[in-house]
Structure 1
């Protein structure tokens, strides 16, 4: 499943739990962790993101030269809607991504109209706030499950050798109906912690079969992910990368996992 890079400067793939859109304004502990990570990595020549917030029936790739910043949420403070992330697109990279996916038996098409959703721009606003690095998003055909996400990651893994940072943006736990809106950062729901720890254990021992079958094998899997679109980007990062490592761990609102992982 994994690429074994020989170049120590090769960029990893990342899985980022992006939390609430308010992360852009209230970064908590995750914001500094993301900023430190960006400082530690070689500067990417481009970034490719698979976000939980672009579910699709088929595979699509943003190909616009200047995609808009999409505030794809409601009920938040006006200051959040004023945030812009004017990163350029990269039509040539989008074309090559489509070609790589097609060669792997995963037909994809360009989408010149799609804006950047908050699963992409919120964490990147904390990592690369100048918004100068070209950004391309790949859609998430969530109905096809985790195995296809691994294949997509594998198909694009070679871009890491070209200085492209590959990111899966979702959440290690994501049951919005069971959040504790009064909880501080030290409160962790036992059922959310058990699931997070199981995933980390399986990643550490590279038990891909258990991970792919997580809905049957992981403790409290469906409680943590009533639908699985927020965990699927993890499988993209897994397929695209190598050895697993933890960058940051934590919870917000009692049960919203904010973990960040890297795959070198």
Structure 2
């Protein structure tokens, strides 16, 4: 059975950098059997309604500004998979999860930066999914859980975001010591993921140390894909930290495998 993954997509510059984290991601896609398709929940696609893509071939979205011009030349022409999209819709109906179909939107950098390193030839079909940061963690987990059966059909489910992602707190240009508050938050998250303690994780904002810095109140969209990915492995509750590193003092690059 395919695992589900939570993958930090970091800053857009990852797409053209060569560092410890990009080297890890370049190898990660080779450690699993080749998936039939990928379902990806991106922090950069927020919607109050759960969106399910039905796209034949995706455009590449450059949803950032002021970066190296090379980034704006990158293309990731992934194709969709209408049959998997249909299965997603059927599972949502069975589980009472309202949704809307999206037929035009391309892949944002939360999706293509990660996918391009895992599968550089863009030859694995992708179904792009929105996230709703206004939902409770329990509801986000339930959406992921409703898709768990697809993992047995060689479908890889990914949540793309970041556990510590506060752009007001990062120290751009500083790749020295990691800020202690970020480590404390990630260590707390890691402990409760390893024990599958959803009761505590669902209350991370009040229980986890330094949660107000790691997941700022003005934006939790990068953290919540963790719950979608975790829920997708509810039928096999195992969590493994595959990688953790940091950039700019506290921007976490963590990869979790569930199931």
SS at match of 1:84: coil
Check conservation: 1:168, 1:234, Cα contact below 8 A.
yes
2:189 equivalent to 1:229: no
- Quote how far apart the aligned CAs of 1:58 are: 0.5
Check conservation: 1:145, 1:232, Cα contact below 8 A.
no
Match of 2:192 among 198, 202, 225: 202
SS at match of 1:11: coil
Corresponding residue for residue 91 of structure 2:
100
Q: Aligned equivalents of 2:49 and 2:143: distance in 1? A: 12
Structure 1: any 5+ residue segments left out of the alignment? 1-9
Structure 2: any 5+ residue segments left out of the alignment? none
The runs of at least 4 aligned residues of structure 1 exceeding 6 Å deviation read none
Corresponding residue for residue 79 of structure 1:
70
Match of 1:147 among 134, 138, 141: 138
Q: Aligned equivalents of 1:252 and 1:221: distance in 2? A: 18
SS at match of 1:14: strand
SS at match of 2:30: helix
Check conservation: 1:94, 1:110, Cα contact below 8 A.
no
Q: CA offsets per residue over residues 144-164 of structure 1, 9 Å max, x none? A: 131111101110011100110
TM-score where L is the length of structure 1: 0.94
Q: Aligned equivalents of 1:98 and 1:28: distance in 2? A: 39
Corresponding residue for residue 180 of structure 2:
190
Q: CA offsets per residue over residues 149-189 of structure 1, 9 Å max, x none? A: 110111001110011000000001011011111222x5211
Check conservation: 1:95, 1:110, Cα contact below 8 A.
no
Aligned 1:23-172 pairs, distance under 5 A: 23-172=14-163
Q: Aligned equivalents of 2:7 and 2:18: distance in 1? A: 13
